[in-house]
Amino acid sequence: MSLLVVGSVAFDAVETPFGKREKMLGGSASHFSISASFFTDVRVVAVVGGDFSREEEQVFERHNVNLSDLERIADGKSFFWRGRYDYDLNTAHTLDTQLNVFADFQPKLSEEAKRSRLVFLGNIQPDLQRGVRDQVAGAELIALDTMNMWIEVTRDSLLETIKGVHVMIINDAEARQLADEPNLIRAARKIMSQGPRALVVKRGEYGAALFTPETYFAIPAYPLESVFDPTGAGDTFAGGFMGYLASQEKLDEAAMRRAMIFGSVMASFNVEEFGTERVQRLTYEEINERFRAFKQMTNFEAIPFERAVRATK
């Protein structure tokens, strides 16, 4: 397979100022794989309980996401998260977390999964991420996500895991926390000195940035009038980013910059409705149209220089 994701397939209950859902498909691997499926073949490694029904399974099937490595525990319950957002949609308030079958998750990779060209290690315990990393030694590019809890509780294990990946994808607060550095530029340099050759920093409504040892590239978020639910936006971004890279022969910085745009495009659709609802209904034309709009929006050469100078006087 082109792309492997290891993470969570879960159920979420979310309330925002614009509505709520009591039970919807969630989890890092769900958001990631559905997003990435528009660009490449995706295989999921995760665990679910007996409450994972045929209805949820069909969501993945409609997007040709391979569930052969999905572990099913019939007498258990799937991971569940309940959260609330106020008008500051950048901050999620966790109301309830039930790990259920995810508490004892030990990723099991088939031989085909071990031969994946690209791998995304979703937000799970660093020891588990490292165990997967050791099984995909031939992967051309491995990316990793993490969160503040792992940085606080398992820092040493996380730093050991980071040494073995090519790209790290985290948000700006996590980057500063991991590097123990308030300045994002210096934080990025410090993180890359630990092993990754590139760092992608997600900045929510302010866009995203790509750091390499020699360069810096930043993009804004796509402007939206309606944002209903940001749950899973980061994983949807990562899915667009990694999915696009998996579709490319050459994984150079130029490809990563284009992947940043596609990641932002996919995340912009994700927040327009609850959970995976909007991304499930996406068409290729919608994705390409928003990509073209994004390209035009960030093209500073679109306005003739002389006219721009006159406008500033």
Q: How far apart, in whole angstroms, are the C-alpha atoms of residue 45 and residue 250?
A: 26
Question: For residue 303, is pLDDT > 80?
Answer: no
Structural domains of the chain sorted by starting position, each given as residue range(s) with its CATH number in brackets: 3-312 (3.40.1190.20)
User: What is the pLDDT of the chain when averaged over all its residues?
Assistant: 93
- Mean predicted confidence (pLDDT) in 292-312: 68
Confidence band for 311, pLDDT divided at 50, 70 and 90: low
Q: How far apart, in whole angstroms, are the C-alpha atoms of residue 44 and residue 60?
A: 10
- Return the amino acid letter for 298: T
- Mean predicted confidence (pLDDT) in 101-125: 96
Q: Which residues in the chain belong to E strands, given as ranges?
A: 3-6, 10-16, 19-26, 42-49, 65-66, 70-73, 79-85, 92-98, 118-121, 141-144, 167-171, 198-202, 208-211, 216-219
- Mean predicted confidence (pLDDT) in 60-87: 96
Q: What is the pLDDT of residues 27-41, one digit of tens each?
A: 999 999 999 999 999
Q: What is the pLDDT of residues 239-282, one digit of tens each?
A: 999 999 999 999 999 999 999 999 999 999 999 999 999 999 99
pLDDT at residue 306, rounded to an integer: 57
Token pair 């995909």 is at which residue? 136
Q: What is the pLDDT of residues 141-164, one digit of tens each?
A: 999 999 999 999 999 999 999 999
DSSP code, position 255:
H
Q: What is the pLDDT of residues 71-83, one digit of tens each?
A: 999 999 999 999 9
